[in-house]
């Protein structure tokens, strides 16, 4: 692995099904992502976007089919997943140490989402938009090769949405994989779009 590159990663789902809340949410779904791929997930509320990300993350079992994942994963959803009593810097340091990522990556994560000025602020004092950016900074600080992002653009202004676009492209260019569940179409080049409302589903970009 060369400097700046992430560890090798891949995702394979073959004909999977998922049940959530006693309801069949996903069925006969296949997906393959390799190093450098950004996959955009589209679909109406309740179509299974969040369920799919949780299934890939291993937080929900597949009711049928095959799931094969290579590489560590980091999931960002509606929860910030940071200790509210710690400063933002301390909270990110905790996760970076837990994930075994280099200390320099924490500062890079703060800079990536314009959070350096808030590093000494307790995480519990952050606004909703700042919390969204902090959750994304946690993903960057993890050094995980696979990013699973559930509606990451919610609560971001145009400047921070552009920062997220830039960070996704940088992650992919380093050999990372990103699955992005979003209501809006992608504003960057992606490997494929997976529409959970469409029977044909996977469409190459």
pLDDT in tens, 109-156: 999 999 999 999 999 999 999 999 999 999 999 999 999 999 999 989
178: nearest Cα among 189, 165, 168: 168
Helix (H, G, I), strand (E, B) or coil at 190: coil
For residues 26-55, one letter each, b for 16 or more C-beta atoms within 10 angstroms of the residue's C-beta and e for the rest, the string is beebebebebbbbbbbbbeeebbbbbbbbb
What's the residue count for the chain? 205
Residues of the chain with pLDDT under 70: 1-3, 198-205
């Amino acid at each position: 692995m060369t400097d700046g590159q992430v560890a090798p990663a891949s995702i394979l789902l073959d004909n999977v099904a998922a049940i959530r809340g006693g309801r069949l949410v996903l069925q006969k779904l296949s997906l393959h992502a390799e190093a450098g791929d950004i996959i955009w997930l589209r679909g109406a509320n309740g179509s299974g976007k969040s369920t799919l990300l949780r299934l890939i993350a291993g937080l929900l079992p597949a009711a049928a089919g095959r799931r094969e994942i290579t590489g560590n994963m980091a999931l960002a959803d509606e929860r910030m997943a940071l200790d509210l009593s710690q400063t933002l810097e301390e909270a990110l340091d905790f996760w970076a140490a837990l994930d075994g990522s280099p200390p320099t990556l924490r500062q890079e994560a703060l800079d990536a989402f314009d959070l350096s000025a808030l590093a000494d602020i307790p995480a519990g004092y952050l606004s909703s938009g700042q919390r969204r950016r902090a959750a994304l900074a946690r993903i960057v600080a993890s050094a995980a090769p696979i990013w699973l992002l559930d509606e990451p653009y919610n609560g971001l202004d145009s400047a921070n949405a552009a920062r997220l676009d830039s960070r996704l492209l940088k992650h992919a260019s380093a050999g990372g994989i990103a699955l992005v569940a979003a209501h809006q179409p992608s504003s960057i080049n992606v490997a494929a779009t997976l529409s959970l409302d469409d029977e044909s589903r996977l469409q190459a970009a």
